[in-house]
Amino acid sequence: MENIEYSNSLYQINEIIKYMAPNLKARIPKKFISYFENNKSKDYDWKIDKAIPLKEQSLLPTTKEILTVLYKDYICDDIERVELEKTLNNNEIKYQEELREKYNPENIFNDKTKKVVNTITENENTSVVTYKESFFSKIISKIKLVFHM
């Protein structure tokens, strides 16, 4: 499934590159352009809408990531690159903070102790029912044991 999304992303990137200005397209190495062309999906159908800005197009997440790398490494100038790297670093810091809040080890252990307490109280409310085997069923089971041996 992941491979299909990747090839569909390469298809989208290839379509976007077709509509790029020639001077911007010339900045991207030819080996990348040929890689996109050779590895794009053959049966994915996506058309770029010229009336809508690229930011508002229905792009796959992988497409956005690859376009960010292409823009950062080959298209933007030095000033834009520094600003973009700051933005990407800030986004990564925010994402790591969200993960830290969500998966904080202290909170995880606190939640487990609460769950253990809840299960203990639930177990206290349940009682064990003992099943007593009747005399005739005991005799029948003994006879079965003798014949199986």
The pTM of this model reads 0.62
Rounded to the nearest angstrom, the gap between the alpha carbon of residue 130 and the centroid of all alpha carbons in its chain is 49
**Cβ atoms 45, 58 nearer than 8 A:** no
Could you tell me which of 14, 56, 72 has the C-alpha nearest to residue 6?
14
Q: Where are the domains of the chain?
A: 2-75, 77-108
- What is the chain's pLDDT, residue by residue, as a tens digit (149 residues)? 468 888 999 999 999 999 889 998 999 999 999 999 999 988 888 888 888 888 888 899 999 999 988 988 888 888 988 998 999 899 999 999 988 888 777 766 665 555 555 555 555 555 566 767 777 777 877 787 777 75
> What pLDDT, on a 0 to 100 scale, did the predictor assign at position 44?
87
Helices 30-39, 2-18: axis angle to 10 degrees equals 130
Please give the pLDDT value at position 37.
Answer: 92
Report pLDDT for 1. 47
Residue 112: per-residue pLDDT: 54
